[in-house]
Structure 1
């Protein structure tokens, strides 16, 4: 395995020093081969409470001689080292909502203070950059970048589109500069774009080979990321310490993998609106996409129906204002489209979406506004990304790469088969059948990269099956929080599914909406913090039925101990 190029290594060292981070120190190994990593962490910037650091880890945990990687982390330290009880690892699950190079200290700085206070400052809070994310050369393996800049990407797509057209002289239906579709797509265009995306994967892998990134792609994956987390826990708390974790939606997969791979180390785990781990890596991506976009579209439709009511409480959106304005709704739909969709329509296409305008009218409630075409035009531009996201950075690896595809498709248990004509026909049937099936999200839809695993040939060196029997029951119990259906709740885990997947867990269903980050309402935060701090859960089966009004009514006397293991820190 080649080492990092000197220029990248130098850039990494300079970045660490400027950030106040640290270089990993000595290592030691146990009999099972898991490596305990010494570390150093310093304030991310002068006067900052949050610390930044870096831990060196093997690229292949089962074959450490393959080479080293690098995990970047941020830590909100306990208030008093003498009364510190351990570490709580956090994963927000927002793999696709923000740039892959977003530093962990940004989200920790924004989200950790409320939880830190509720835990009485007795725990360190840690977020880190998983494998396959982060700035290349700093996080190793980092984000895969396929093009030099946006011009290079635009030229490639234009050339591939011309090649795939039956009539090379016919104009393409997307804008050459922005790669936005200029009209509502047809089934033939969806299939053409499918072939273009297949060529993009091939070209990207060729570019990765040239950039000496290709050998690292098989070392991405959630199993390796969980081993990295265990290494950090060993360094922070000792090799026998239980690992406490809170993961939201896709972030819950870290907890599922931890329970499966290290059941003896699983501490207090909060699975917040969790993803079904069996569906995640055993169901073909294009089938998950078909289900996920239907869930998201239905959830938006439920919101639309509830907002026709005159009751303020009936019209609610995840983490948003009591009665959402269109700017907030447009931002939320934009995030959904960024996560689920693989192409962008120009605003003029959205203006022709009559179903979307009906939704706008039902939410806005003000006739003077809803009848203003200019207002709706501005709303359409926000949905298309022009006002909210702005132009994508020319050198952003996330915009110039395949986003989460190497991670999620690397986790897939089904193998890649480029010659499987039946599989390809099934995938194309889903593309055609789902093209216009979610009008509240997009007038014409195509899956984002993470759903195209039938095009991605690389699988992780270590993968985990959740349908296989569990050899050992996790040491401590789990808290599972199931929220009302919201657009990010996919693939949705029902109450029955949760009790099947986590039979010994404490399950609370039909909770108030949370958010795709960590700023839940007070009642939800109290519920989570009480479990993480003390292992207690409320006797009341609906502790947050009335939101924040209930938080002061929950008596600690009505809590029961969730686990009595002497290993609890």
Structure 2
């Protein structure tokens, strides 16, 4: 690849990228082609050295209008994996007029350098380090920490966890990937996108972009760092960037704001389906409140069993974690109710469940992160890429203590989400103890005047990127953005299908057409069933009336 670097513009340009076959162990879609792209670790100081990005592309099928860049979130999500799975869908939504492009960003995967961030060399090393702590067992509580013994048990671990997280910081720095911690931040990734756009579409070209979940945060940094380069941009599942710019543990009071309401949607669907469609309902005519009572009773049983026996295979935290997975994608609700739920019940009641449930306990942390991040296939130890990116972007250290972080968790369970705020570990909680910050961080403003209007998309009830954050971002951008709401449950609009939303996105990509204001609401396709015979429309109609701006 012939390259030249312009230190004044702080970008890398390339006269060509040589595309070829993809690594079949990573990408199986024969329509995709792959390559690599060299990047400076620090755009402001090229003497630091260079890395490379692993790239994948699906060519346009119509008269080409440019490139659409895709980031699937995480922030540790693999763009290669996502494009491998969703290339045809994305091509259809853009009318086939664009090359659909994705990549494994800094800190992701094994092909990009810097790649996945590790602090331990093996699962055994990880498990020995955290043995006997809430990092492995999760937080046990009932209600919203209504039992003072649960509060005491958690706060009693604060000194231990303080020492562990301080040592974790030292381990991460000492590890072979530690030398890259300062160079995997979001600002550098935004600059990588612009450098790639210059190489793919020409210097100064408009940047077209789709980002979901954390990808919406990257999108907000991108469009405000480079407002003159904004082409057609969709951000979906919105993270409010002002929270990251001002708070250490923003997730506790904001990210889960609609989680319990999404859980209510799950309960309502189960009640409508009845015991034949949702066995958590023990009899016909049970209400959502009845089904919640059944789940709460199992949580209490699991909690009490874990207090008696620290090796109990099914804890209340495991049940909450499974439920959080379900409400992120309610298309899995029937499978959970018919398959996972009976296993959880059996494990709790026996207090010595089948091997499959015991395995769930030992891999709990890894499972949560595989929903939002990639994990090395050669080394299945815990990845710290999410922490490296999010905490590297975070505000300067404020000498926050672990007892304060635990206090935040307790308060969030009482004020934000009773069901899910206790999920531990979570990436943001590591930020007060993370050893470094990125060499470049963008902390605003987030209301720049953009070259073109962008689309902001949110579900009505998203359990991890709530609608109020989308509304806040749309308000920040003002006339530079249009908010489109999908009347749906789950994390990002892909959680439920909507031909209405597909049409809005198609019109935007192909014709540049956006709704006139922020009042557009798209319904979910009526043939999409969450439980047998129960669709989203029926669940929304049966729920308690809700206030939506």
Normalised TM-score (structure 1):
0.69
Q: Which residue of 2 aligns with 1:350?
A: 316
Q: How does 1:123-522 map to 2 (within 5 A)?
A: 123-135=98-110, 138-158=111-131, 172=132, 179-180=136-137, 186-285=150-249, 287-305=250-268, 307-309=270-272, 347-350=313-316, 376-377=345-346, 386=360, 399-412=381-394, 414-418=395-399, 426-434=404-412, 438=417, 440-441=419-420, 445-466=423-444, 468=445, 473-490=449-466, 492-495=468-471, 497-513=473-489, 516=492, 518=494, 520-522=497-499
How far does residue 249 in structure 1 lie from its aligned partner after superposition? Answer: 2.3
Residues 1:504 and 1:181: Cα distance change in structure 2 (over 3 Å)? closer
| Greater mean deviation of Cα atoms: 515-524 or 54-63 | 515-524
Local SS of the residue matching 1:264: helix
Matched, 1:112 2:92: no
Cα distance in structure 2, aligned partners of 1:498 and 1:47: 36
C-alpha separation between the residues in 2 aligned to 1:197 and 1:180? 13
* Structure 1 residue 224: Cα displacement: 0.4
Q: Among 66, 69, 73, which residue is 1:93 paired with?
A: 73
CA–CA distance in 2 between the matches of 1:134 and 1:435?
Answer: 34
Residue of structure 1 in register with 2:64 after alignment: 84
Q: Give the secondary structure class of the aligned counterpart of 1:229.
A: helix
The 1-side partners of 2:443 and 2:156 are apart by 34
Residues 296 and 547 of structure 1: CA distance in aligned 2, closer, same or farther (over 3 Å) = closer
After superposition, the C-alpha distances for 1:380-406 in whole angstroms (9 at most, x for unaligned) are 989997299789589766742434111
Residues 126 and 502 of structure 1: CA distance in aligned 2, closer, same or farther (over 3 Å): farther
Instruction: Provide Cα deviations, 1:75-96, integer angstroms capped at 9, x if missing partner.
Output: 111126xx3211001112233x
Shift of 1:429: 2.1
CA contact (8 A) 2:122 2:381 kept: no
More helix by share: 2
CA contact (8 A) 2:461 2:488 kept: no
Asked if the contact 2:120/2:381 (under 8 Å) is kept, the reply is no
Q: C-alpha distance in 2, partners of 1:473/1:268?
A: 14
Change over 3 Å in CA distance of 1:255–1:73 after alignment to 2: same
Residues 182 and 437, structure 2, Cα contact 8 Å, conserved in 1: yes
User: Which residue of structure 2 aligns with residue 67 of structure 1?
Assistant: 49
Unmatched segments (≥5 aa) in structure 1: 1-23, 159-171, 316-325, 331-343, 551-569
The Cα shift of 1:69 comes to: 1.4
Gapped runs of 5+ residues in structure 2? Answer: 142-148, 279-290, 296-309, 327-331, 367-374, 528-549
Deviations 1:327-351 (A, max 9, x none): xxx9xxxxxxxxxxxxx99543339
| Distance in 2 between residues matched to 1:276 and 1:543, nearest whole Å | 21
Moved more, 178-187 or 43-52: 178-187
Kept in 1, the 8 Å contact 2:237–2:491? The answer is no
Contact 2:240 2:469 in 1 (8 A): yes
**Residue 415 of structure 1: how far off its partner (Å):** 1.0
Distance 2:446 2:463 in 1: 32
Q: Which of 504, 521, 534 in structure 2 is aligned with 1:527?
A: 504
Alpha-carbon displacement from aligned partner over 1:257-309 (angstroms, at most 9, x marks no partner): 11111111011111223211111332221x43244345323421343246545
- Change in Cα spacing, 1:250 to 1:211, as seen in structure 2 (3 Å) is closer
Q: Contact (CA 8 Å) 2:211, 2:235: kept in 1 or not?
A: yes
Structure 2 CA distance for aligned equivalents of residues 491 and 124 of structure 1: 30
